[in-house]
Amino acid sequence: MCSMLPAELKARVNELNWFHSIDLGHGIVTPGRDNSARKVARLQLPESLAGKTVLDVGAWDGFFSFEAERRGAARVLATDSYCWSDPRSWGNKRGFDLAREVLASKVEDQVIDVLDLSPGNVGMFDVVLFLGVLYHMKHPLLALERVASVTRELLVLETAVDMLDCRRPAMAFYAGDEFGLDATNWCGPNPAAVLDMLKVAGFARVRIIAGLRPWWFRWAKAAWLKWKFGLPFWSMVRTDRIVVHAWK
Ligand SMILES: C[S@@+](CC[C@H](N)C(=O)[O-])C[C@H]1O[C@@H](n2cnc3c(N)ncnc32)[C@H](O)[C@@H]1O
């Protein structure tokens, strides 16, 4: 149980730059720009993760790691590298550390690059979360192979997708910052490419759990992103996000 007074907690929360919106109790929710509650609803995680081991790859502030623990996971390992260790990144690990302390969480942490994931380096996990990370990968198929190598049962993948008017598996390559004005975005596969790459990476069964939204949703979202963050409208309207469940 955290012994911090609500006023002290609020002050410490306000010192940090948050990505996730984490309910820390006492009416305090971290002011992340991510609508984490809406995202988790779209993932369709198993209601109970009782007894399961869970790996959260690219955990950042750790919202989904703490959610897995809340759903009863026996062990949760949160991993990240860019935001937790690279001084050029948009974030750091201080939000994760504070949330873990306040929530009296037992979530473990490890700084490790996706491409270094292996049973020897992290172990095997029943459920692996790979949320919002694939499009940051310069080598997406290799990254999925590494993620598959540590997945025992189920991978929950959430990603941005591009090339939506192409029915065949296809992938956009972002050499600069053209996707979201963010040079850490490297690739935008379309849904067919995501499914095929997952199969090649070693998953026996793959299914889109949350697919493309209607055109008007994408237009409204692109308009909002332009207004709020100045992101280029036409590059955003071409893209969407999907959730895939992949079973070994
Ligand atoms: C858009 S955030 C997603 C955070 C969280 N998973 C979510 O869905 O809300 C992308 C995360 O991937 C991490 N990341 C990017 N490249 C990585 C790499 N090569 N290895 C490990 N983590 C990486 C970033 O540090 C960041 O925390």
pLDDT tens digits, 18-47: 999 999 998 999 999 999 999 999 999 999
Res. 3: pLDDT tops 80 = no
Give me Rg for the CA atoms of the chain: 18
Would you call 90 helix, strand, or coil by DSSP? coil
114 lines ligand 1 (CB under 6 A): yes
Which residue's alpha carbon is nearest to atom 13 within ligand 1? 58
178 lines ligand 1 (CB under 6 A): no
82 lines ligand 1 (CB under 6 A): yes
| Cα–Cα distance measured from residue 63 to residue 129, given in angstroms and rounded to the nearest whole number | 12
State pLDDT tens for residues 36-87: 999 999 999 999 999 999 999 999 999 999 999 999 999 999 999 999 998 8
Taking the centre of ligand 1 as the mean of its atom positions, its distance from the CA of residue 60, in whole angstroms, is: 6
Taking the centre of ligand 1 as the mean of its atom positions, its distance from the CA of residue 7, in whole angstroms, is: 30
**Average of pLDDT values for 218-234?**
93
Q: What is the pLDDT of residue 1?
A: 54
Closest CA to 197 of 148, 238, 141, 137: 141
Percent share of the chain, pLDDT over 90: 93
Which residue's alpha carbon is nearest to atom 27 within ligand 1? 60
140 lines ligand 1 (CB under 6 A): no
Which residue's alpha carbon is nearest to atom 11 within ligand 1? 58
Q: What is the pLDDT of residue 149?
A: 98
What DSSP string describes 51-65? T-EEEEET-TT-HHH
Handedness of CA 167, 173, 179, 184 (dihedral sign): positive
| Cα–Cα distance measured from residue 207 to residue 239, given in angstroms and rounded to the nearest whole number | 19
The pTM of the full predicted model, rounded to 2 decimals, is 0.97
131 lines ligand 1 (CB under 6 A): yes
Which residue's alpha carbon is nearest to atom 3 within ligand 1? 132
**Average of pLDDT values for 149-170?**
97
133 lines ligand 1 (CB under 6 A): yes
